[in-house]
Amino acid sequence: MELKIKMTDCILIPASLNRNGYGQLFYQGKNQRAHRVVWMRANGPIPKNKVIDHICHDPKKCEGGITCSHRACINLEHMRLTTQQENIMAGLHNIDNRSHCNQGHPFIKENIMVRKSGKRECSQCNRERSRRNWANRKVGA
């Protein structure tokens, strides 16, 4: 049986995903994100001030976050070298259309807080993070 892959398709590496949903490979003595390894093998080292952006993410099919299958894509046609700021800004246009945060909590009026920077955050995630931090302080005291 011949495997046919169109270059427009995502090439996923589902065998090993890290806790953030990115494909990972053991490369140069350590686990590394698969898309970064593929990029480096094809294009050389990634400059210190650059990141690899997956341009294949389709907000109509996926809201992003750790369950996003595009994080496991290793198709070079679906990647671009960019700054972290550009990568964040490219994804921001999808945030206002999302119905849930990365942890699955609903983005409803009662569950959204807006930072001075304009960034939307999930109030429930923020409360849970604060509780964990408080509990950790108590243990360490």
Amino acid identity of residue 122, one-letter, is C
Question: Which residues partner with 121 through β-bridges?
Answer: 113
Tell me the pTM.
Answer: 0.61
Q: Which domains does the chain possess?
A: 10-98 (3.90.75), 99-141 (no CATH)
| DSSP per residue, 50-91 | -EEEE----TTT---GGG-GGGGB--GGGEEEE-HHHHHHHH
**Cα 137 from Cα 91, distance rounded (Å):** 34
The number of residues in the chain equals 141
Segment 7-51, tens digit of pLDDT: 568 888 767 888 888 889 899 999 999 999 999 999 999 999 999
